[in-house]
Each structure stands twice: as structure tokens, then as C-alpha cells.
Amino acid sequence: MQNLGIFNTLSEFVLIRINLASEITHFKGWIESKKHLDYDLWYIENGEMELQVGSKTFIVKEKDMVLFGPRIAYTATVISKSCSFHFIHFDFSLGEHSRILDHYDLTGIISPNIAEEERELLLGAYSGYKMNVPLSAIRLKGSLTILLSKIIESYGAGKYRGAFNESLDDSQKSSNPITNLQPVFSYIQEHYSKSIRIQDLAELVGISEKYFISYFKQAFGVTPGRYIYQFKMNEARKLLLSKKYSIQEIASMLGYSDPFSFSKSFKKYYTISPSDFC
């Protein structure tokens, strides 16, 4: 299974922007052929629809959700008397990478038993949003974030796998940087208590340091150095909150040469010294 830890490590770099949220009803025989520029999530309130994605045909039923990505071309046809559904167009970025979700097989039909509570939370937030209730846009964005997190979590646990990416032709497919860089993630996880050289990480995947930095940033929207820094700051927060270790011990556990260097790095990130953090 592909690495999902980056969403924890780089959670503060995740940006979700809702471009459009609405609902619509179409009647039997309605057809739409499209490929969106952003991500699109549908919730089928009632009725049935046929989806043609590449050479595959799918039937979408009541309470199903459908997640489309920017690379997915589809033809949708209403096959019941009518079909009503909610839809949300959104962008999901990680750092400077606006298509991070494309690295995972997430696009597809999501059955009602996946993220049921999270789905209801989103629908409730949408009800307030369409009535222009104060702060409803923030609630809608928050509930969408929770729902997407649950879908990604279900994917990571092997409970869900979208089938739409299988329709992509070879020209649309490329080697997955998350898979290619898995040795790097493993190395950082195992050696964050030491000083990690970017050159060593590049050697793990057999490419030059300069190309490695470019490749990593293109894949995840941040440089490898920033990723390591973020990882260590996350660990520092956990260790401080545990109240089991001194600042000197934590500095050593995170690979800093002395407590001063650690404190300086920590304060730069959290704008507060480790001693005042908790």
C-alpha cells in the first residue's frame, strides 16, 4: 500500500478549496460527457445513473458517492425516471502540488457503507450552506475535509479502492513518485534521530541530489529538507506533550547537536520556545 503518512506529516500544507457546491435533478435520458478541471464529488440522493468511464460501465445508485478527478473523462446517463444528486467541485493541494490525490486510486464509486457518518455531516453542513447560514461555508469546508480524510483512510486500510484510474490510457499514466520514494520515507522514519543528508536520500533511489530535490518537490509540493523539518517538529510536539523527556533529551532524540539548536528550530516553527510550549 502506498505511503499515507505524508498527509499527517504535511497536514499543515493541505489546502482544500470549494469551487462550487449545489444540487440538481435530471430526468431519464439525460446525458453528460465531461472531464472536469478540478475534483468533483457527487452524492446520489435518489434514482440511478449509468457511468461510462473508458471501456467500463458502472451503475450508480441511491446513497452512492462518486469521486471524479481531473484526468477522468466520463459519460453519465440517467436510467431511472429521475436522478437527484448533490455535487461539490473542489481543489485539493499539498504544498505546491495541486493534484496529489492523483497518486492514489481514489476516483470511483464509493458505496454507502464507506464514510457514512462523515457523509451525513457533509450533507448537514450543505443544508446550512444553501440557506446562507453564518459560517456555513467554513462548516462545509471542514466537513468535506473530514469526509475526504475518511475516504483516504479507508483506502489505506484496504476497505476502498476506486476503479476509475484503471480507465486511463498509458499516455495518462506515469510512474508513481510515492511508490518510487518509499525507501526515502522509510529511511526518514527510521533515522530521524540523526542528521539526515539529502545526498544520502538521493542515493537511496539512485538519482542525483539536484534531480532528487526537484523530483521530491514536484511530487509533494515541498522540498525534502522541508519534509524532514516538518517530520521532526511533529515528533518534537508529541515528545513535549508526553512530558517524559527533558528538552536536552528531545534535542538528542531528534538529531540536533545541542538543545540550543533544537530550541531555535522549534521556536522558528511554533513561534514559542519548547520550555513554554506546554
Q: Which residues contact 209 (CB under 8 A, 6 or more apart)?
A: 198, 199, 202
Amino acid occupying residue 25: T
Q: Domain containing 61: what range? A: 6-167
End-to-end CA distance of the chain: 36
Tell me if 266 is assigned to some domain.
Answer: yes
- 53: domain CATH number is 2.60.120.280
Pair (225, 120) in one structural domain: no
* Model confidence pLDDT, tens digit, residues 180-227: 888 999 999 999 998 899 999 999 999 999 999 999 998 888 999 999
Confidence (pLDDT) at 1: 46
Cβ 7 vs Cβ 152: under 8 Å = yes
- Residues 39, 114, single domain; the answer is yes
What's 46's DSSP letter? E
Residue 23 resides in a domain: yes
This prediction's pTM: 0.87
Task: Give the pLDDT score at 246.
Answer: 94
Note whether residue 120 is domain-resident. Answer: yes
Q: What is the pLDDT along the chain (278 residues), one digit of tens a residue?
A: 456 788 888 898 999 999 999 999 999 999 999 999 999 999 999 999 999 999 899 999 999 999 999 989 999 999 999 999 999 999 999 888 888 898 889 999 999 999 999 999 999 999 999 999 999 999 999 999 999 999 999 999 999 999 998 877 655 555 677 778 889 999 999 999 988 999 999 999 999 999 999 999 988 889 999 999 999 999 999 999 999 999 999 999 999 989 999 999 999 999 999 998 87
DSSP state of 10: T
1 in any annotated domain: no
Q: Is residue 148 part of a domain?
A: yes
Single residue among 167, 188, 215 that ends a domain in this structure: 167
Q: How is residue 115 written as a grid cell?
A: 464514510
- Whether 172 is in a domain gets the answer no
Residue at which a domain ends, from 143, 167, 191: 167
Q: Are residues 29 and 62 in the same domain?
A: yes
**CATH number of domain containing 235:** 1.10.10.60
**Is the domain of 159 the same as that of 97?**
yes
Domain count for the chain = 2
Q: Is residue 190 part of a domain?
A: yes
Domain stop point among 167, 196, 218:
167
